[in-house]
Amino acid sequence: MNAAAKTISETTTTGEQARDEAAPMRALLQSAYGSTDVLRVGTTSRPSPGEREVLVEVHAAGIDRGTWHLMTGRPYLMRLMGFGFRTPKNPVLGLDLAGTVVAVGAKVTRFAPGDEVFGMGKGSFAAFACAHEDKLARKPPSLSFEHAAVLGVSGVSAVLALQEAGVQAGERVLILGASGGVGTFAVQLAKALGAQVTGVCSTSKVDLVRSLGADLVLDYTQSDPADGATRYDVILDIGGGMPLSRLRRAMTATGRLVFVGNEHGGDWTGGFERPLLAFALAPFVKQRFIMLVAREHYVELEQLLQWMDAGKLRPVIDRHCSLAEVADALRDMEAGTIRGKVVVTLPRSA
């Protein structure tokens, strides 16, 4: 190709990319923090990937607790952490995604257009979303986009919680909030590690948690998991509603407590009071207290695939919904009626 032809080719390609980026796409939008009333399905410009990012055509997305926090802007502390003080920095909701790579940034080395991927991105409740390449893994052909889409945030959180706790075969593990997104993964993974698992959930979800392999399931409306009758080596506190004094009563003298969720905290700190109290107490007791810090990386995503290939793990899907039905799903999540995960399905382009 001569220089003139090359210049024309590059100009044409650049023009096509510019038109694609400017093309409107369908998305779930929010212009302010608040309840589900701030959400609307509309159109916005297609995002453009940064140097280490890829642009993904989203085929399915997952709903997680992080999405609810981004919608409400609570706890307020998160607004000071860069998510937008008065209004959301990103007007498109959604973190979990699965889809096909359509464009890559200049320094991306792990993916190319056409690759099928899953993981965590920015604004996944849309036809297209950007994601850092290190937050994505390749989707195997045997895994559906719908199942892949719910592995990211909740699955990785479960893996990290069990790793941080150092769960060993034969140890007694108590999982509070065993029927939710993180909990359903944690029950299965703890069993795969050889632990004796007790799951705690509401009455209507006891059979579900039992079907995931829990050795014992406690209905918190009927039983007190912290009555001291059984002492646990590890507690995963996903629900975030039990006082520290009661949690400690359920632990062995050298037990480990991992704070995974803080859904019952105040608007400002979101329940961080309990971990702060625990860390102040830590120098004086042999029990260990761990605050889970989210880490979004493909290493944990690939570990989840290994557990699935071994038949030790399966995503629990409550239902599928469209963009227009996400608000209903978020209300159900807040009410505590969701079992496992909700998948958001998006129509594919021709």
Task: Clarify whether residues 28 and 145 are in a common domain.
Answer: yes
Residues 159 and 283 occupy one common structural domain: yes
Asked if residue 225 is part of any domain, the answer here is yes
3-state DSSP assignment of residue 252: strand
- For 199-247, what is each residue's pLDDT tens digit? 999 999 999 999 999 999 999 999 999 998 899 999 999 977 788 999 9
Q: Is 90 exceeded by the pLDDT of residue 270?
A: no
Within a domain: 310? no
Parent domain of 98: 16-151+315-345
Residues 139 and 88 in one domain: yes
Output the CA–CA distances (angstroms, integers) from residue 344 to 10, 183, 260, 322, in the order listed: 37, 20, 24, 6
Number of structural domains (the chain) is 2
Domain contains 309:
no
Same domain, 183 and 251: yes
Q: What is the CATH number of the domain that holds 145?
A: 3.90.180.10
Residue 308 lies in a domain: no
- pTM (2 d.p.): 0.89
pLDDT tens digits, one per residue of 292-333: 887 889 999 999 999 999 999 999 999 999 999 999 999 999
Total length of the chain: 350
- How many of the other CB atoms lie within 10 Å of CB of 8? 12
